[in-house]
Amino acid sequence: MNEKKIEMRLVVPVLLSFFVMSFVDLVGIGKDRVAGDLGLSDFILGLIPFAAFIWFFILSVPVGILQGRVGKKTMLNIGMGVTGVGLLIPFFFYNFATVIAGFTLLGIGNTIVQVSANPLLVDVVKDSDSSSKTSKSSLIALIGFLIIYFAVIFLLTNIRDMLVLLVIPSILIAIITVFFLKGTSSYLSFSQFIKAIGSMMAAPLAAFFASRFGDWKILFLVFGLVSFLSVVWLSMTKIEESAVSEKAPSMGSAFKLLGNSFILMMVVSIFLVVGIDVGFNYFSGKFLATNFGINEVSAQSGRSIYFFGRVLGTLGGALILTRLSSTKGLLYSAIISIVSIFLIMVIPTKAVAWVLVFIIGIGVANIFPLVFSLTIQKYPERSNEISGLMMMAISGGALIPPAMGLVSDLTGVVPAMGVLLLCAAYLLAVSWIIIRKKLVNI
């Protein structure tokens, strides 16, 4: 196979779509803020993540089929545009109905973005060697974007927060993107690093806008504008998309793939790892406050610590996967996840709990891109249909948290965390089966 140079002018705008992808994680901070503003019950507030994530189940396969006909780039632009509209609605019109409407559009847009962004990134980095063909214009655009972005953030936050949360991780983004990444799995893990940065920034930026300007909803405006700017940049980028199977994809052909035991196993893996991610994001505050006696405000900060763990986990994964096989990477990630979740359930020490929150983020960080990469690379000719099925499985983020809530109501917060432990156990079993039976050699 002939190796090609990676063109950063193609990679950067696609990677930026993963920052837009992170906006769906606003369901966590959105739920907390709306609860304070509108005084709603936990059951009603539970409609916020449901409104966002249920669309992954409803739309993912149809979107995967449609993008096989109109193209991944076109669908990605549509998704980011819908995301931007969804973010602006609750900013300009704020009540519970408009919040649900906004998060519904956010979920629809994010579904499209998730289905399209991953295979499009595969298209721009596949069959590549370790060197990057970096044009001067793409570097100027990247550096210019970072300078403008950090200049704005610098005006809005104190230097310590800017350095810890934004400058250092993003400088590493630029360095790693240009010099070190190699191969599809490495780039897919790196894309999740960018997504994790967006997720981590949401809570502190919302707090800042609330304290400085008296309105946390400015966060919706900022992220909405970023969505529209991403559409403009990607629209100006010419990308050659890979050919798909000669037979036009359909709903029947997509769901027929679930008859393939490997694909079914990997789709269930996506369902459960997203369930772990959203479930911990949603439940960690209550778990830390109830089980360790941490005050409510501090307990909610556990969400940012978890996402910071994901940031470093995806960064480390992007580097390690240039040397380590994807199958072993999946196994090690699953081991870290199940051990850390088990320990946080049984260890009573508050300080250790904070460390384990961070480690859980590291463990979960690379499982999604590794599962996706292994499946797509095994069946590249069915990428659109597989992508649709896997994004449909993101609906685990709509179903696992209510299951945890039910267990918590019946037996307590510690058994509720056991739901995540069971999910991690499945992922460990899958990673072991793949290696033991040599189902994939990547």
Say what percent of the chain tops pLDDT 90.
Answer: 19
CA gap 276, 279 in Å, rounded = 5
Q: Beta strand 128-133 with 4-7: parallel, antiparallel or unpaired?
A: parallel
Q: Looking at residues 380-390, what average pLDDT do you find? A: 77
The pLDDT mean for the chain works out to 77
CA gap 164, 180 in Å, rounded = 22
**pLDDT at residue number 272:** 94
**pLDDT at residue number 178:** 47
Q: pLDDT tens digit string along 334-355?
A: 999 999 999 999 988 888 888 8
Predicted TM-score (pTM) of the model is 0.72
Q: DSSP states of 320-367 as a string? A: HTTTS-HHHHHHHHHHHHHHHHHHHHH---HHHHHHHHHHHHHHHHTH
Q: pLDDT tens digit string along 186-242?
A: 676 677 777 777 777 777 777 778 777 888 888 889 899 999 999 999 988 887 776
- Report helix, strand and coil shares of the chain as percent, to nearest 5: 85, 0, 15
CA gap 123, 11 in Å, rounded = 10
What does the domain layout of the chain look like in residue ranges? 4-236+249-436
User: Where does the pLDDT of residue 263 fall: very low under 50, low under 70, confident under 90, or very high at 90 and above?
Assistant: very high
Contacts for 29-38: CB closer than 8 Å, 24+ residues apart: 29/202, 29/203, 29/206, 29/303, 30/99, 30/103, 31/282, 32/285, 32/300, 33/206, 33/210, 33/216, 34/96, 34/99, 37/94, 38/95, 38/96
Q: Looking at residues 136-143, what average pLDDT do you find? A: 44
Instruction: Give the CATH architecture of domain 4-236+249-436.
Output: Up-down Bundle (1.20)
In sequence order, which residues have a C-beta less than 8 Å from that of residue 262 and are 6 or more positions away?
375, 378, 439
In sequence order, which residues have a C-beta less than 8 Å from that of residue 327 and are 6 or more positions away?
374, 431, 434, 435, 440, 441, 442
CA gap 219, 212 in Å, rounded = 12
- In the three-class reduction of DSSP (H, G, I as helix; E, B as strand; rest coil), residue 6 is classed as strand
CB atoms inside a 10 Å sphere around CB 437: 9
Q: pLDDT tens digit string along 413-436?
A: 899 899 999 999 999 999 999 988
CA 286 vs. chain centroid, Å, equals 22
If phi > 0 it is left, if psi is from -120 to 50 it is alpha, else beta; for residue 293 that is: left
User: Where does the pLDDT of residue 35 fall: very low under 50, low under 70, confident under 90, or very high at 90 and above?
Assistant: low
- Contact (Cβ atoms closer than 8 angstroms) between residue 15 and residue 198: no
CA gap 397, 283 in Å, rounded = 12
